[in-house]
Amino acid sequence: MSEDRTEKATPKRREEARNRGQVARSQEINTGFSLLGLFVLLSAFGASTYEALAALMVESFTKAGPETTINANTAWALMMDLMFTGLRILAPYLLGAMVIGVVASVVQVRPRLLASGLKPNFQALSPKSGIKRIFSLRSLVNLVKDLVKIAIVGTVTWIVLRGQAESLAMLMGADPRTTLGVVGGLILKLGYFVAAAYLVMAAADFGYQRWQHEKDMRMTKEEVKREMKEQDVSPEVKGQMKRRQREMATRRMMDAVPGADVVITNPTHYAVALKYARDLPAPQVVAKGADNVALRIRGIATENGVSIVEDPPLARSLFAAAEVGQYIPAEAFAAVAEILAAVYRAGNRTPAVAA
């Protein structure tokens, strides 16, 4: 129960959560930095960007004039030229956005590559989980945050534009270059004010995310006691426990070899023992091993009259694709079915019925 989680998270729990990608992080920090960076880039490159876009537009209309013959080749060349010119113009903004995104993330969390982030999370596709997320307290808090953001940004925009009404009215009849300069300056001013307000909100949201993360990381007293006991165990004892667990798992695996239908070998490097019953969806791996373990599996199979079939490619693929207790992969069905059929014919028997 959440009310029982009164203890602060231990360093081990924090490290485990970090390895799963669970850290205190605010997306508003990234958005605020991106807004600020965008208007800084516009201040630095806005004039040159305007000139480049104007030149590109003039060039495009010129090349598309009536004196230009348009066919597949010229159209393709024109499109490629426009695309590369556009990318060159936008390059400072694209590069800036990438750098700002990295900086905004590093400011909040130390960077670390996690393989777990590449694993698909099918639970996220569950309609039940989705409904719980929609109607959760956290969703309500996010809704309130969004409403507050809209209100603050709208208020800042109104305050900035309210004092510029006369300046905008004086632009009636002005030449386009003057109008563009005044409007551009107003947009930059508005952008800086909005970015500043957004960064203040982002700082508050980051504080909330830190508080929520600490709350989610809380542990029960029983969990803290259990973790302290585990830490008190010496490395030697832990090693002995793991070694004993491996030995027990190997012993259980060897006990299952006499009941297997066939052992497929490499012939000496790998051995995979398979068992099949009519009620099972597919043949099941009951034992597997490499080198010395493979020799033990072969020896037990020979002592108990279990058929041994040498098929190096199949043995290697089964060893890599299926763990003990799992069914063989679908791509191995045909090859294994052929081997089992031959084994059943040689022994004049049929598959057993699963217990």
The residue among 147 and 280 whose pLDDT is bigger is 147
How far apart are the C-alpha atoms of 190 and 79, rounded to whole Å?
A: 35
How is the chain split into domains, by residue range?
2-113+122-222, 239-347
Q: What percentage of the chain reaches a pLDDT higher than 90?
A: 7
pLDDT of residue 273: 93
What's residue 115's pLDDT?
A: 53
Chain segment 293-352, per-residue pLDDT in tens: 899 999 999 999 888 999 989 999 999 888 888 898 888 889 999 999 998 888 777 776
CATH architecture of 239-347: 3-Layer(aba) Sandwich (3.40)
Yes or no: say if 330 and 301 are a contact pair by the CB < 8 Å rule.
no
Per-residue confidence at 68, pLDDT binned at 50, 70, 90?
low
Count of other CB atoms within 10 angstroms of residue 293:
16
| pLDDT tier for residue 70 given thresholds of 50, 70 and 90 | low
Pairing status of strand 307-310 against strand 262-265: parallel
pTM of the model: 0.49
Q: Give 112's pLDDT tier (boundaries 50, 70, 90).
A: low
- Give the model's pLDDT for residue 135: 63
Average pLDDT, the chain: 80
pLDDT score, position 2: 47
* Residue whose C-alpha is closest to residue 322's, from 287, 285, 271, 273: 285
Please give the average per-residue pLDDT across 230-235, as a whole number.
Answer: 66
